[in-house]
């Protein structure tokens, strides 16, 4: 079975500052890793994913994440945030070659002017 | 544009009634769809896996007789909340995985989520 831990429930940050949202996972098998963003009263939108290959993954809206197998982490980063990045961010994992996603509890990113 | 749609987006019903939520994949076929439930300010909890042409697979703790799932075609799955009660009020989200289709925006090995249905039971 897989599990996902998002260590921070809320992350406040000022506009144009860098941000890192943390995600750790647990699994006895190889996994795929995902970050999704959810804006208020909307469904989830894929930010980026790691399936294989390069451990540094670049996604939409200037976000990137790095897969670290030894630390079982997949932290999300952005060098300079905008007000429009205010949203809920979910890290998710699926076992290799399956479609079932297990989500973390989410991190609320609040960007202040 | 959206690749997975849900209908309705919002529904308010009286306690004891049944509510049907539709999830459609647009422009691609989905033999599998997933149904999630999200409580306010919480994560998505997988409820069940909807399989076209066979019975749904429910996660532990989810009542299959209360949450009826029908995967009628390769583009449509429905979730019916039977005899709804106020504690069933929640945000219900479906998703469908795609293997990717050349020449489209659909990515390989990616799940696309519907916009969600907010159910309020009075």
A102 to B46: CB separation less than 8 angstroms, yes or no = yes
Q: Which residues contact A113 (CB under 8 A, 6 or more apart)?
A: A14, A15, A83
Q: What is the pLDDT of residue B33?
A: 92
Whether the pLDDT of residue B104 is over 60: the answer is no
Q: Which of A43, A51, A105 sits opposite B43 (nearest CB)?
A: A105
| Mutation site, A9, A99, A103, A104, interface B, largest B CB count within 10 A | A99
In the numeric block, which tokens belong to residue B3? 């690749």
Residue contact B115–A104, C-beta within 8 A: no
% of residues, chain B, pLDDT over 90: 66
Query: Is residue B20's pLDDT more than 60?
Result: yes
Q: A3, A25 in Cβ contact below 8 A? A: yes
Contact A105 B114 (CB under 8 A): no
At A23, list the tokens.
């995600």
Position B1 pLDDT exceeds 60: no
- On chain B, the residues whose CB falls within 8 A of the CB of A5 are none
In 3-state terms, what secondary structure has residue B22?
strand
- B31 or B105, which is more confident: B31
State residue A56's pLDDT score. 95
Which pLDDT belongs to residue B29? 84
**Which of A33, A27, A29, A35 is closest to A77 using CA atoms?**
A35
pLDDT of B12 above 90: yes
Q: Which residues of chain A have pLDDT under 70?
A: none
Q: What is the pLDDT of residue A95?
A: 84
Query: Regarding beta strands B117-121 and B10-13, do their DSSP bridges make them parallel or antiparallel, or are they unpaired?
Result: parallel
Q: In this predicted model, what pLDDT tens digit does every residue of B21-79 receive, in sequence order? A: 999 998 888 888 999 998 877 788 999 999 888 899 999 999 999 999 999 888 999 99
Name the nearest CA neighbour of B6 among A43, A88, A102, A100. Answer: A43
Among A5, A44, A52, A92, which would you mutate to test the B interface (most chain B Cβ atoms within 10 Å of its Cβ)? A44
CB pairs under 8 A between A and B: 48
Q: Average the pLDDT over B100-118 and give the result.
A: 71
What pLDDT score was predicted for residue B109?
A: 61
Whether pLDDT at B103 is above 70: no
pLDDT of residue A43: 78
Q: A8 touching B, CB under 8 A? A: no
Report the mean per-residue pLDDT for chain B: 88
């Amino acid at each position: 079975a897989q599990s996902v831990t998002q260590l921070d429930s809320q992350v406040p940050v000022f506009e144009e500052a860098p941000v890192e949202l943390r995600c750790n996972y647990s699994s006895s098998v190889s996994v795929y890793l995902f970050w999704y963003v959810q804006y208020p009263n909307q469904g989830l939108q894929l930010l980026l994913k790691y399936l294989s290959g390069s451990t540094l993954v670049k996604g939409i809206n200037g976000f990137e994440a790095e897969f670290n197998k030894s630390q079982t982490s997949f932290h999300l980063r952005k060098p300079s945030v905008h007000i429009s990045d205010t949203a809920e961010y979910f890290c998710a994992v699926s076992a290799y070659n399956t479609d079932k996603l297990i989500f973390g509890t989410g991190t609320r990113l609040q960007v202040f002017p | 544009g959206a690749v997975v749609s849900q209908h309705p987006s919002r529904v308010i019903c009286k306690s004891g009634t049944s509510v049907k939520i539709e999830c459609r994949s647009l422009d691609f076929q989905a033999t599998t769809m997933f149904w999630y439930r999200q409580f306010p300010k919480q994560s998505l909890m997988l409820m069940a896996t909807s399989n076209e042409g066979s019975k749904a697979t429910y996660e532990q703790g989810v009542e299959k007789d209360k949450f009826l799932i029908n995967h009628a075609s390769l583009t449509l799955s429905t979730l019916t909340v039977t005899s709804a009660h106020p504690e069933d009020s929640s945000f219900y989200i479906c998703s469908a995985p795609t293997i990717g289709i050349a020449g489209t925006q659909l990515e390989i090995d990616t799940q696309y989520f519907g916009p969600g249905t907010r159910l309020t039971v009075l």
